[in-house]
Structure 1
């Protein structure tokens, strides 16, 4: 399976993921990276789930659940700004479970995503936007072959402070 590794697999979001999505989207600790400024209701998220079946070619985005092989949902992947004409897509992920971090799961997930988008969606490049202070994500993306190609100065404003965002790319070899 293209979306399964040795410790995880990626799957479409299901209606049963509503509570997980609700907790994650309303966790103010991740609002800085998600550009969220207001809470989401279960009703709004339910409508999002009702439309999550729509094709990436239509909505230019695909969100997948990161699951352990024991079927525990531990995070989300976002493929965003899908541009089939220019053959590129953005990649973001979050592993919500602290106890699942720093165990190679992120590496596996990024590699699964790159394999999927390069081979199934036929993209030429994947890009990621990472806050300059997020050393764990920088390490992860550099480890799997993403190259730092630019910096967006004062790009993200959060709690009255501007922060730099680094642009990473991985081009299909």
Structure 2
């Protein structure tokens, strides 16, 4: 079934998810490897971000990642900057619940999102950006089939060091062969 695997399910993100998303958004350890902006946000700012950027945009689709048996929310995954004419989108995945890190949930959630992007939305290409120091994520993306397409050199300053942002992409025909 679409949006479900043996261990997880995706459900559309709602305004009620803002409170939990706020906790993850303010956890610097969670955001360290995914957000270019490390900051502490007031709840009203997070609520506005969820309503306008996540829920209010016609060019994005965001889903809560749930552990299936307990329906515990463990993260967020999204397609953003959806270009319907050229059948392209960018994907994002954040496992905010650290108890689920390193257990394959990110890979499963990404595969569910790509199934939806390629098999239901009929997108041609999905891209992503990843920080060069996030080797676990890079390996995951390569395993799923993403190809390296370029890098923005020294565009992220984190903990006193400059890091590259790596651009990766996967085409529909590359994904469906897997």
TM-score band (shorter)?
0.7 to 0.9
Q: Which moved more, 1:36-45 or 1:116-125?
A: 36-45
In the alignment, is the contact (CA less than 8 A) between 2:76 and 2:94 conserved in 1? yes
Residue 63 of structure 1: aligned partner: 62
Counterparts of 1:114-125 in structure 2 under 5 Å? 114-125=114-125
In the alignment, is the contact (CA less than 8 A) between 2:55 and 2:62 conserved in 1? no
The alignment's TM-score, normalised by the length of structure 1, stands at 0.87
Deviation at 1:50, TM superposition (A): 4.2
Between the aligned partners of 2:47 and 2:155, the Cα distance in structure 1 is: 31
Q: Which moved more, 1:31-40 or 1:95-104?
A: 31-40
Secondary structure at the residue paired with 2:93? strand
In the alignment, is the contact (CA less than 8 A) between 1:32 and 1:158 conserved in 2? no
Secondary structure at the residue paired with 2:34? helix
Q: 1:71-114: CA deviations, max 9, x gaps? A: 10011112112111221111111112222122221111111111
In the alignment, is the contact (CA less than 8 A) between 1:154 and 1:164 conserved in 2? yes
Between the aligned partners of 1:130 and 1:42, the Cα distance in structure 2 is: 26
In the alignment, is the contact (CA less than 8 A) between 1:130 and 1:138 conserved in 2? yes
CA RMSD of aligned residues (A): 2.0
Residue 46 of structure 1: aligned partner: 47
Between the aligned partners of 2:81 and 2:15, the Cα distance in structure 1 is: 24
In the alignment, is the contact (CA less than 8 A) between 2:91 and 2:127 conserved in 1? yes
Secondary structure at the residue paired with 1:143? helix
- 5+ residue gaps, structure 1, are none
Deviation at 1:119, TM superposition (A): 2.1
The alignment's TM-score, normalised by the length of structure 2, stands at 0.85
Between the aligned partners of 1:33 and 1:45, the Cα distance in structure 2 is: 16
Give the paired residue count. 170
Deviation at 1:53, TM superposition (A): 4.4
Between the aligned partners of 2:99 and 2:32, the Cα distance in structure 1 is: 20
C-alpha spacing 1:104/1:124, structure 2 compared with 1 (3 Å): same
Residue 5 of structure 1: aligned partner: 5
In the alignment, is the contact (CA less than 8 A) between 1:148 and 1:166 conserved in 2? yes
Between the aligned partners of 1:25 and 1:103, the Cα distance in structure 2 is: 21
In the alignment, is the contact (CA less than 8 A) between 2:24 and 2:97 conserved in 1? no
Residue 35 of structure 1: aligned partner: 36
